[in-house]
Amino acid sequence: MDPRTIGILGGGQLGRMMVEAAHRLNLRTTILDADNSPAKQINALSSHVTGSFSSSADILELSKSCDILTTEIEHVDTNILEQIEKEGKVDVQPASETIRVIQDKYLQKEFLIRNKVSVADTIKIDTPSVESLENVGEKFGYPYMLKSRTLAYDGRGNYVVKSKESIPGALEALSNRPLYAERWAEFTMELAVMVVKTRDGRTLSYPTVETIHENNICKLVYMPARTTVDIRSKAQALAEEAIRHFPGAGIFGVEMFLLKDGTILVNEIAPRPHNSGHHTIETHSTSQFEAHIRAILDLPLPPSTTTPRTSTTSSIMLNILGGPDPDSHLKVSKLALETPGATLHLYGKTESRLGRKMGHITVVADSISDCETLIAPLVTATSYTQS
Ligand code: ATP
Ligand code: MG
Ligand code: MG
């Protein structure tokens, strides 16, 4: 299909599902991560690199055994990616500049504001102190959201500043991290859109989904989002507009807030496959993972790529998180096998931890209400994650 080898920074579940998609098309992939990481388990090659996507030496090593570099995570060393890009022997997609901007959530916000994409009001905090956080409170009112600019995921790095009194706790919780603050978004729903950007700069978007978080971790994804067709198409347009400006090709996850008055704000962007696009494996003939591979290699991506299989195709995705017992997630998984219309994905993580993403289940039917009926017992079976 294509003689080039794709090097993937990170071998977690996203890398694993990228490998699944690539292998179906006879495409070679080689992974940088710890031995036996989820993506390596399904790809028996000797050219994998043992190490970390945050180490420049390890990334350089990976670049020696591939023709194109891509990533399943944004927390990578972008200086070395830029150097590799400049040397020109190995292609980097999306561009290192895109990953550099997105991995710092404050730079990402500045970039979106500069490109006139609506986001929550944002203030940079140069010197975190009671005084500087009180100043934010005076400007934004309470609550507001204090966020780490870097290394954030699953809400680790966020702190809700409820009042003046919670400022010392916020400073302690996020000590030694570069910070910025966001005005509180009074959202009625969280939306997400997966956008594919092609090598020639076209954008295509998968349908708008609704994401439901529990303890800051994505728990459920509804496709389509339970809102109007108008809101759903506005969200797709906003997401495509946000991604249009970033250099390079690939799939991007765009998280958004829907406010009471119908305004939509971009929350944050991921320069890679995203949890809110997992359902596309079942609902579309081309999944987000395959779309990413096609985009970076400049393989065909017809406009129909992002259209669901039928006009009524609906789905709900449920994350299977680690529970109180080492096998809590396996009990849910067995129940999924008995559920009609359900597809089970387990990620091969050898150790379960509370709240760790161990797998997911997708149910597909002709309406959201049919999906709800199918998923209900599985949602009950995962209630061990409620705190
Ligand atoms: P992810 O795992 O998606 O990368 P993250 O750690 O980067 O998460 P965010 O997406 O910034 O964190 O925030 C996590 C959640 O916190 C959001 O999905 C939303 O529910 C809530 N949140 C974030 N920012 C705001 C805001 N400004 N106002 C209200 N709620 C917010
Ligand atoms: Mg994030
Ligand atoms: Mg997020």
From the CA of 254, how far away is ligand 1's center (Å)? Answer: 12
The per-residue pLDDT for 346 is 98
d(CA 373, CA 377): 8
The ligand 1 atom at the shortest distance from the C-alpha of residue 268 is: 10
- Model confidence at 328, in pLDDT bands (50, 70, 90)? very high
- Percent of the chain's residues with pLDDT above 90: 96
For residue 311, count CB atoms less than 10 angstroms from its CB and return exposed for 0-12, middle for 13-18, buried for 19 or more.
Answer: exposed
Which amino acid residue places its CA nearest to atom 14 of ligand 1? 155
Pocket of ligand 1 from Cβ distances under 6 Å: 120, 145, 147, 152-158, 182, 184-185, 190, 213, 216, 255, 267-268
Contacts of 363 (CB under 8 A, 6+ apart): 315, 316, 318, 339, 341, 342, 343, 371, 374, 375, 378
What's the whole-number mean pLDDT along residues 256-276? Answer: 98
Residues with CB under 5 A from ligand 2 (ion): 268
From the CA of 45, how far away is ligand 2's center (Å)? Answer: 31
What's the whole-number mean pLDDT along residues 185-203? Answer: 98
The per-residue pLDDT for 386 is 76
Q: Of the ranges 40-49, 90-99, 163-172, which one carries the lowest mean pLDDT score?
A: 40-49
- Model confidence at 266, in pLDDT bands (50, 70, 90)? very high
Residue 305 reports pLDDT greater than 70: yes
- Model confidence at 1, in pLDDT bands (50, 70, 90)? confident
- Model confidence at 309, in pLDDT bands (50, 70, 90)? very high
Residue 262 reports pLDDT greater than 90: yes
The per-residue pLDDT for 66 is 97
Residue 176 reports pLDDT greater than 70: yes
The per-residue pLDDT for 387 is 62
Ligand nearest to the CA of 147: 1
From the CA of 89, how far away is ligand 3's center (Å)? Answer: 34
Residue 335 reports pLDDT greater than 90: yes
Ligand nearest to the CA of 103: 2
pLDDT tens by residue, 75-132? 999 999 999 999 999 999 999 999 999 999 999 999 999 999 999 999 999 999 999 9
- Chain-wide mean pLDDT for the chain? 97
pLDDT tens by residue, 59-84? 999 999 999 999 999 999 999 999 99
- Percent of the chain's residues with pLDDT above 70: 100
From the CA of 46, how far away is ligand 1's center (Å)? Answer: 39
Q: Confirm whether the ipTM is greater than 0.95.
A: yes
From the CA of 158, how far away is ligand 2's center (Å)? Answer: 10
SS3 readout for the chain: CCCCEEEEECCCHHHHHHHHHHHHCCCEEEEEECCCCHHHHCCCCCCCEECCCCCHHHHHHHHCCCCEEEECCCCCCHHHHHHHHHHCCCEECCCHHHHHHHHCHHHHHHHHHHCCCCECCEEEECCCCHHHHHHHHHHHCCCEEEEECCCCECCECEEEECCHHHHHHHHHHCCCCCEEEEECCCEEEEEEEEEEECCCCCEEECCCEEEEEECCEEEEEEECCCCCHHHHHHHHHHHHHHHHCCCCCEEEEEEEEEECCCCEEEEEEECCCCHHHCCHHHHCCCCHHHHHHHHHHCCCCCHHHHCCCCCCCEEEEEEEECCCCCCHHHHHHHHHHCCCCEEEEECCCCCCCCCCEEEEEEEEECCHHHHHHHHHHHHHHCHHHCC
